[in-house]
Amino acid sequence: MEHNPLLDFSDLPRFDAIQPEHVTPAVEALLEENRAVVARLEQPGETVSWGNFVEPLENATEKLGRAWGIVSHMNAVVDTPALRAAYNENQPRITEFWTALGQNLALFDKYKALQADAGYAGLPQARKTIIDHAVRDFRLGGAELADDKKQRYAEIQEKQAALSTKFSENVLDATNDYGLFIENADELKGLPDDVLQAAKTAAEKDGKPGYKFTLHFPSYFPVLQYADNRSLREAIYRANATKASELGTKPEWDNTAIIAELLQLRKEEAQLLGYRNFAEVSLVAKMAESPAQVSAFLEDLAHRARPFAEKDLAELREFARDHLGVADLQSWDTTYASEKLREQRYAFSEQEVKQYFPEQKVVAGLFRVIETLFAVEIKDDVASTWHKDVKFYRIEKDGQLVGQFYLDLYARSGKRGGAWMDDARGRRRTAGGVQTPVAYLTCNFSEPAVVNGQSKPALFTHDEVITLFHEFGHGLHHMLTQVEELSVSGISGVEWDAVELPSQFMENFCWEWDVLQHMTAHADTGAPLPRALFDKMIAAKNFQSGMQTLRQVEFSLFDMHLHDDFDASGTQSAQDILDTVREQVSVFNPPAFNRFQHSFGHIFSGGYAAGYYSYKWAEVLSADAYGAFEEAGAGGGSTLSRASGKKFQSEVLEVGGSRPALESFKAFRGREPSIDALLRHNGMTA
């Protein structure tokens, strides 16, 4: 047992040594250890204190969280049948443990005693926040329920965890299974060379002639964007829009029943806890106060964006009719027509811009921004990884280690789609000193193309550059924290609707000339991005922002209605709710066969249930926060303001979840947030 790498907490995870057969014994050993600690802490006895109660509990649960975090991470990035089986075998045990812990009345009473103790007022802010959060979370975890209801609550948690995992697996399996093979190159007119090369390589890997297109984003999206062949666009659009649904390829991957059951279970959980619905439960720990407040915020945003969206669509329809001969614009035409309209109006294409963003230059440019703003150094580092393409780095300040991170940039089979940051280890003070934070930064970009046996650098679209900056913002929030209490250091304990503030804030730098000059080099010539092309990008920055805003509002309102006023056991379906929301806010509706919700992992397997609105909510905060950097750069200065960076670092990034996000925002900006900057950044001002 001592050789199990999942039980080695001395330093970084030993990814090169971890095998699926290590999972079950590690989980069993850690659960046994945790149960023993809980049993000891439950006993009545000495006066409860931080040192004799909270610390030993955190020490035990942190190990379990870290080990299971490694397993979950590998399950997301290197999914294999053996690993999936080990994950699914142990997930119910993990869920059962956390549910039982959250319902433990003896522990709940001790946290309440800490809160009521005379010494509470003298505790550091971080510790007070942890105690307050614990009392709140015990109530939300069903600690005050009668025994029979506790049992039902536990059953609900376990079932939800299993269903969410299955939802995600169905999407991944349906994505991995699909392949569209084209032998005749004439059918692929319009597609860029690097996309064709990647498709050719994919077909070769399968031992097939011609070209293979998949439902991984770097493969299918360029087809929608560039393929002149309309029926090809329709084929891949339909495959992507119906994956993991009743219209998909295999009935066992259909998420319809999972969606309905998850929604029923969430509602039952809420009612057990004395709330009307799951949206109310979700908002207890968020900045927003009620589902009605969230809906009003979203509806107001939709109202403001609508005139811009209607104009966007009218222009697109007219352009498609007059220049592309498409009289009946369909969903598989919009991305293609938009790209052609953008090229005509602003005289550049996404593909042209992409040639200036080779991976090494982009990553170096990102690091330069961070080093300038936050006075840190980022250096190459060494660690074992889960895949040969993963890189590892360290962040230092004044020669001292601050944090480390893994960077896993490329899409591949067996890797969940999308982009995310996750914590491998949090910052905390231990008997041996400060434990520094470690982060996973995961994206799904195109891997470097191999042409005539030569590997060329991976090229990123500008959108992918923005995604990289976004995820790194989360990483900074996690790694630059100065809080030394685990439960509120970094992103831990931050309200979910504020957690996107640093990530969306970082995106803004991707539109700054003094940033892009230093992070671009043409793939063939090495020349930096020309100023004239940058000016066109800026002119096009808010191209169709009205339609894009409405799309985000649509997803957010759909999510909120599903968890607020929808009865999953009634006659209506989730599809009916989505259709109603679209009638209310959208200007362009997808075809009837579109099953977007069947792969809406954010809310069915990703923690954003009744919280998808957070993206727009936090964008108000991030745009307003970035306004301080714009003000610093006004009059010919740079937005890479060290003074503003220092203040953002100390008032937002370093304090983590130790105080309410609104307090952190006000400490940085000196006032309440305003929506004006968001509307201005999106070009939606009169």
Sequence-distant (6+) residues with CB within 8 A of 117 are 48
Choose one of 577, 612, 647: the last residue of a domain. Answer: 612
Q: Which long-range contacts (CB under 8 A, 24 or more apart) does 287-291 make?
A: 287/495, 287/497, 287/498, 287/617, 287/660, 287/661, 287/662, 288/497, 288/613, 288/617, 291/560, 291/563, 291/564, 291/610
- Report whether pLDDT(452) > 90: no
Domain boundary among 612, 627, 648: 612
Give every CB contact of residue 640 below 8 A, 6+ residues apart in sequence.
Answer: 369, 372, 373, 509, 512, 514, 515, 629, 633
pLDDT band at 636 (very low <50, low <70, confident <90, very high): confident
Cβ(277)–Cβ(564) below 8 Å: yes
- Count of other CB atoms within 10 angstroms of residue 45: 9
Domain assignment of residue 82, yes or no: yes
Q: Are residues 24 and 75 in the same domain?
A: yes
Which entry of 62, 269, 350, 471 is annotated as an active-site residue?
471
CA distance 535 to 639: 17
In a domain, 628, yes or no: no
Are 236 and 268 part of one and the same domain? Answer: no
96 and 32: one domain? Answer: yes
Both 109 and 85 in one domain: the answer is yes
Note whether 109 and 16 are same-domain residues.
Answer: yes
The chain-wide mean pLDDT, for the chain, equals 97
Q: Is residue 164 one of the residues assigned to a domain?
A: no
Residues 627-646: what's their mean pLDDT? 94
- CATH code (residue 67): 1.20.1050.40
What is the pLDDT confidence band of residue 637, given thresholds at 50, 70 and 90?
confident
pLDDT score of 377: 98
Is residue 247 exposed (0-12), middle (13-18) or buried (19+ Cβ within 10 Å)?
Answer: middle
Per the domain annotation, does 442 fall within a domain? no
Same domain for 217 and 270?
A: no
Residue 450's pLDDT band (cuts 50, 70, 90): confident
Percent of the chain whose pLDDT exceeds 70: 100
In whole angstroms, give the CA distance from residue 178 to residue 253.
12
Same domain for 118 and 195: no
331 DSSP assignment? H
Quick one: 318 and 261 in the same domain? yes
Q: How far apart are CA 370 and CA 366, in angstroms?
A: 6
User: Can you say whether the dihedral through the CA atoms of 46, 137, 491, 674 is positive or negative?
Assistant: negative
Cα angle: 596, vertex 214, 342; to 5 degrees: 70
Q: Which of 125, 144, 163 is the last residue of a domain?
A: 144
Q: Is 597 a domain residue?
A: yes
258 bridge partner residues: none
The helix (H) or strand (E) run that includes residue 310 is: helix 291-324
The answer to whether residue 455 scores a pLDDT higher than 90 is no
- For the chain, the domain total comes to 3
Whether residue 498 is predicted with pLDDT greater than 70 in this model: the reply is yes
Measured distance CA(203)–CA(209) in Å, rounded: 6
pLDDT for the residue numbered 490: 97
Residue given tokens 């191209």 in the structure block: 543
Cα–Cα distance, 499 to 489 (Å, whole number)? 13
**Same-domain pairing of 113 and 186:** no
What is the per-residue pLDDT for 1?
52
- The answer to whether the CB of 287 falls within 8 A of the CB of 662 is yes
**pLDDT value, residue 635:** 85
Structural domain includes residue 381: no
Is the pLDDT score of 686 beyond 80? no
**CA–CA separation, 67 and 28 (whole Å):** 11
pLDDT at 2 over 80: no
| C-alpha triplet 182, 188, 189: angle, nearest 5° | 165
* Residue 495 falls in the annotated catalytic set: no
For 645-656, write each residue's pLDDT tens digit. 999 999 999 999
Residue 490 in any domain: the answer is no
pLDDT in tens, 94-128: 999 999 999 999 999 999 999 999 999 999 999 99
- Domain extent at residue 23: 5-144
Rg (CA), the chain: 25
Which two three-digit tokens encode residue 650?
A: 């100390």
Classify 422 as helix, strand or coil. Answer: strand
Query: What crossing angle do the helices spanning 81-102 and 125-140 adopt, rounded to 10°?
Result: 100
**Closest by CA position to 239, among listed 601, 594, 602, 600:** 594
Alpha-carbon span 190 to 188, nearest angstrom: 6
Task: Take residue 665 and report the two structure tokens written for it.
Answer: 């925002």
- Give the C-alpha separation, 78 to 70, whole Å: 11
Assigned token pair, 580: 């109603």
pLDDT in tens, 192-241: 999 999 999 999 999 999 999 999 999 999 999 999 999 999 999 999 99
Cα distances (Å, whole numbers) of residue 248 to 216, 253, 340, 353, 599: 16, 8, 30, 35, 11
Task: Write the pLDDT tens digit of every residue in 253-295.
Answer: 999 999 999 999 999 999 999 999 999 999 999 999 999 999 9
User: 297 with 335, same domain?
Assistant: yes
Asked whether the beta carbons of 501 and 286 are under 8 A apart, the reply is no
Residues 31 and 123 in one domain: yes
**CATH number for position 300:** 1.10.1370.10
Q: Specify if 500 maps to a domain.
A: no
| Long-range interactions of 34-39: CB distance < 8 A, separation 24+ | 34/60, 34/61, 34/63, 34/64, 34/97, 35/97, 38/101, 38/104, 38/107
Residues 6 or more apart in contact with residue 148 via CB below 8 angstroms: none
Which position has the higher pLDDT, 431 or 320? 320
Q: For the purposes of burial, counting CB atoms within 10 Å of the CB of 531, is it exposed (0-12), middle (13-18) or buried (19 or more)?
A: exposed
- Other beta carbons within 10 angstroms of residue 56's beta carbon come to 14
Same domain, 192 and 129: no
